Amino acid sequence: MEAVFLVAILIFSVVLHEVSHGWVAFSLGDPTAKNAGRLTLNPIPHIDPIGSILVPFFLILTTGTGFGWAKPVPVNHFNLRDKKYGAAKVSFAGPGANLAVAIVFGLFLRFLPIAEISPNLISIFVSIVYLNLILAVFNLLPIPPLDGSHILFTFLPPALDHIRIFLSQYGIFILLFVVFFFFRALLPIINFLFQLIVGF
């Protein structure tokens, strides 16, 4: 039951992540996600059967940690009014939404008498904060196809274009290496942010 509950939190957080991409793109003039029916918190249009259910459920069941993905929200960057920074704004929207959720529920834990209302709420809120911090930090890594790579490419000067080419060619292999061998190195950052927000 705990694994099912954590998967449910992860699905909602990933869906919010993707919807945020679509809403920012729509606000900047691109209706692609809206026309595809992806500007909804209903998880069904966003669910990838493997990335949204099977992988996170298996990982939570075996390792106690969650990892997953949803169907990427379609974005046509040619429609964005902000040609210079539009791609970066759309890319940051997903991790930014996860960070906002972590901050809101973290501040609830910090300042409201959650334990007096229901002791079970503490573990629920802790899971929401921690999973959303994982999503935010992980997706901001500058490795394709993660959001951080699009932000990096937006600000990368032409003189460093060889970095963009290298990451575009080998990003998926670098990402797999990070997931399997380097992910624990992110935990100090995630734990620091958690303590900064929640206070414990």
139-176 exposure pattern, b = at least 16 Cβ within 10 A, e = fewer: bbbbbbebbbbbbbbeebeeeeeeebeebeeebeebbe
Q: How far apart are CA 47 and CA 19, in angstroms?
A: 12
Helices (H) and strands (E) in the chain, counts: 9, 0
Q: How far apart are CA 45 and CA 22, in angstroms?
A: 13
Task: Give catalytic residue positions.
Answer: 18
